[in-house]
Structure 1
Amino acid sequence: MSNAPVTQIDPAAFAADPYPTLATMRRQAPITYVPQLDATLITRRNDIHVQEKRIDVFSSLQPDGLMTKLMGENMMRKDGDAHALERRALFPALSPRTVADHWKPMFRAATQKILNDLAPKGAGDLVTDYAMPVSAAALIAITGLSQMQPREMDRVSQHMIDGCANYAGDPQIEARCHAATALIDDHIDRMLAGPPAKSAIAVQQAAGVPEHSLRANVKLVISGGQNEPRDAIAGTVWALLNHPDQLRRIHDQQSTWAEAFGEYVRWISPIGMSPRVVARAETVSDVTFDAGDRVFLMFSSAGRDETHFDAPDRYDITRDTSPAIPFGAGPHFCAGAAASRCLITEIALPMLFDALPNLRLTGTAPFTGWAFRGPTSVPVAWS
């Protein structure tokens, strides 16, 4: 175990709002061991930015980690050549060109259909009625699991990410995760003989990726590709409706949807951390790590690091968010970042505000999670 100073947390309070605790860690013990998580947390932006790239020390290889046990060994749990090989195999499905030329028209068509059904209702929940189906429709297309339904996609994604954050070992959460991965495998089985063009299944098959790795990588795409866009869409809309002066800047073309999204994922990072395992003993900032130690790189904390952001707890779309690292900063930088940005900033946000005039909040929006964070409900109405 590392010799980092110990910080005790209340897991329920940390899930309800991790940011006050993370601020205390940055100030008092920026590298700290948390017994409740059995992990050493790295919380300052510069430390994360440097150490994430040191894969010889902070390795993604975690054969005993929750993600590997529950979802199979995907490319996110590999380093070096093994990671690069599978990342290159998946790239044709997620490249900026593929997103712009192939997926964007599909994103637009699916989102328009959802809005056509939603607009006459006059009220709803942005999470379940809009952000969830928009994100799921995009992910169904990208993965190639064309027989899966949006609510089914959302459910299996949620149950997998709950499983991957189940450091307390809740057996019910683990069982739901196993059921979700089994259902995904059933859907993959149906598509192996003829997957849709450009899909994650098709490009991996074309590259000769072994089937067990193909399956694990499809599950990886689902685990990050559903909850992050879903939570970022609903969360960014919530933030803008709570800051009408900033929404007005976008309507007046003084700011952009991309700036609103970039500030949101700095402020409330949908993917709050990335786990690593120490490959060899090393000392970082007077903390000595032992081989086998579990380390969490806290991207959510990096986004509120006071040395890079003035008033970091405030949502401000005019700020420079370039120091933020919500998608990571090293070789494991999110492979789906281009698809996520396109879906959210070019499709979901502008089309929503165009289609639903006088969009307004009608209640509170509860947030939850520290490893993955987002609103569970955003009640709204429109004219």
Structure 2
Amino acid sequence: MSTAPRIDIDPAAFWADPYPMLAKMRREAPIAFVPQLGSTLLTSRDDISISEKQIDVFSSHQPAGLMNRLMGHNMMRKDGEAHQVERRAMFPTVSPRTVKAYWTALFQAHADRILDSIGPGRIDFMRDFALPFSGECLKSITGLTNIGFQDMDAWSQGMIEGIANYAGDPAVEARCHAATSGIDAAIDDILPVMREKPDQSILGVLLASGMAMESVRANVKLAISGGQNEPRKAIAGTVWALLTHPDQLDLVRRGEVTWLQAFEEYARWISPIGMSPRRIAKPWGIRDVEFEADERVFLMFGSANRDEKHFERADQFDVTRDTSKSVAFGAGPHFCAGAFASRAMIADVALPTVFARARQLEIADDEPVRIGGWAFRGLQNLPVKWLH
């Protein structure tokens, strides 16, 4: 066990709002062992930024980790050349050029079709737009067009909960197994079509690369685990943030700030991916804390993005902020491979289309907006009054 000071947390309170405790850790013990999570947490942006690049120490390769055990050995849990080989194989799908030339128009078609189906009145924006839009986009990107967006969402949620199931809840693990089994069945169903006519989707390019089928399956599951849950929450979350900060929405509407800036600030403020786990590969020390090999550490991205040393008024949403120090998409070799696609989905399509189409869009007062999570954080709902 590391020599880091011990800090106890209330898991329920930490799930509801981790930021007060993370701020306390940054002040008092920026590297702290939290027994309730069974891990040592790094909460300082500087420590996280440096450590994420030291893959010989802070290894993503975690043979006994939840992601490997439940989803298969994907590129996110590999380091060095093994990681780069699989990342390069996927790149033709998610490169800036492909996103601009191929995916953005398809994203726009999905957004227009879904918005056309929404009638005026009281809706849950998360359920009625963010969820189906993210799901339809992900169906296209992964190549699993033979399923419904509801399946995509359920599978993503099942895996996200499964790989954050540090308490070992058997019901959560069972839902994760059901999700991965469903994905395997969907892949098997569409494989003959994809082998005959490969396309620009993740499944298409990975099959064309000659990657082993076990790795193809693991990387499609990786894309689904993050590619549905995080964009869905980020779309609804950015809309919520702008509606609750109308002066900042006006800045965007007037063109003084871009939709991308609004999205990037939301991703800093409420980090959809709040944590990334690592395994200590060899004995190591940071300042006065010593680590033993094979210890588990959590890089707390959500804390890094509110580090007072780098962000003034860090707890406030401010679309005019310089977010270049944000690590919302990671900071090292594991920088999110789908970042360009996510930005196109959210900043180029979802946000401008929603606000252009809405004659009236305001938060409904008959139900509270619920937000939660620390490993993966975001809105659970978004009740709004909507008029075309």
TM-score (norm 2): 0.97
Q: What does 1:91-106 correspond to in 2, within 5 Å?
A: 91-106=91-106
1:121 aligned partner: 120
2:358 aligned partner: 356
Q: Is the 8 A contact 2:276 2:299 kept in 1?
A: yes
Stretches (4+) displaced over 4 A: none
2:296 aligned partner: 294
For residues 296 and 193 of structure 2, the distance between their equivalents in structure 1, rounded to whole angstroms, comes to 40
1:88 aligned partner: 88
In the alignment, does 2:19 pair up with 1:15?
A: no
Identity of aligned residues (%): 57
Q: Secondary structure at the match of 2:117?
A: helix
For residues 324 and 251 of structure 1, the distance between their equivalents in structure 2, rounded to whole angstroms, comes to 24
In the alignment, does 2:19 pair up with 1:46?
A: no
Which AA in structure 2 matches 1:4? Answer: A
Q: CA deviation at 1:206?
A: 1.0
Provide structure 1 residue ranges, at least 5 long, that are not aligned to the other structure: none
Q: Is the 8 A contact 2:363 2:384 kept in 1?
A: yes
User: Any idea what the Cα deviations from partners look like across 1:210-230, whole Å, max 9, x if unmatched?
Assistant: 000000000000011001110
For residues 5 and 126 of structure 1, the distance between their equivalents in structure 2, rounded to whole angstroms, comes to 43
For residues 369 and 211 of structure 2, the distance between their equivalents in structure 1, rounded to whole angstroms, comes to 42
Q: CA deviation at 1:355?
A: 1.1
Q: What does 1:1-383 correspond to in 2, within 5 Å?
A: 1-118=1-118, 120-195=119-194, 197-363=199-365, 364-383=368-387
User: Any idea what the Cα deviations from partners look like across 1:39-93, whole Å, max 9, x if unmatched?
Assistant: 0000010110000000000001111000000000000000011100000001001
Q: Secondary structure at the match of 1:304?
A: coil
Q: Secondary structure at the match of 2:33?
A: strand
For residues 125 and 304 of structure 2, the distance between their equivalents in structure 1, rounded to whole angstroms, comes to 28
Q: CA deviation at 1:375?
A: 0.5
Moved more, 82-91 or 193-202: 193-202
Q: Secondary structure at the match of 1:124?
A: strand
For residues 382 and 327 of structure 1, the distance between their equivalents in structure 2, rounded to whole angstroms, comes to 31
Which AA in structure 2 matches 1:9? Answer: I
User: Any idea what the Cα deviations from partners look like across 1:121-147, whole Å, max 9, x if unmatched?
Assistant: 322111111100111111000000011
Q: CA deviation at 1:236?
A: 0.3
User: Any idea what the Cα deviations from partners look like across 1:169-208, whole Å, max 9, x if unmatched?
Assistant: 0000000000000000000101222225101111111111
Which AA in structure 2 matches 1:269? Answer: S
For residues 358 and 187 of structure 2, the distance between their equivalents in structure 1, rounded to whole angstroms, comes to 36
Q: CA deviation at 1:358?
A: 1.8
User: Any idea what the Cα deviations from partners look like across 1:141-169, whole Å, max 9, x if unmatched?
Assistant: 00000111011100100010000000000
Provide structure 2 residue ranges, at least 5 long, that are not aligned to the other structure: none
Q: CA deviation at 1:356?
A: 1.4
Q: Is the 8 A contact 2:123 2:386 kept in 1?
A: no
Q: CA deviation at 1:382?
A: 2.4
For residues 102 and 370 of structure 2, the distance between their equivalents in structure 1, rounded to whole angstroms, comes to 35
Which AA in structure 2 matches 1:345? Answer: A
For residues 246 and 120 of structure 2, the distance between their equivalents in structure 1, rounded to whole angstroms, comes to 23
User: Any idea what the Cα deviations from partners look like across 1:238-262, whole Å, max 9, x if unmatched?
Assistant: 0000000000011111111111101
Q: Secondary structure at the match of 1:198?
A: coil
For residues 83 and 255 of structure 1, the distance between their equivalents in structure 2, rounded to whole angstroms, comes to 36
Q: Secondary structure at the match of 1:283?
A: strand
Which AA in structure 1 matches 2:60? Answer: S
For residues 297 and 329 of structure 2, the distance between their equivalents in structure 1, rounded to whole angstroms, comes to 17
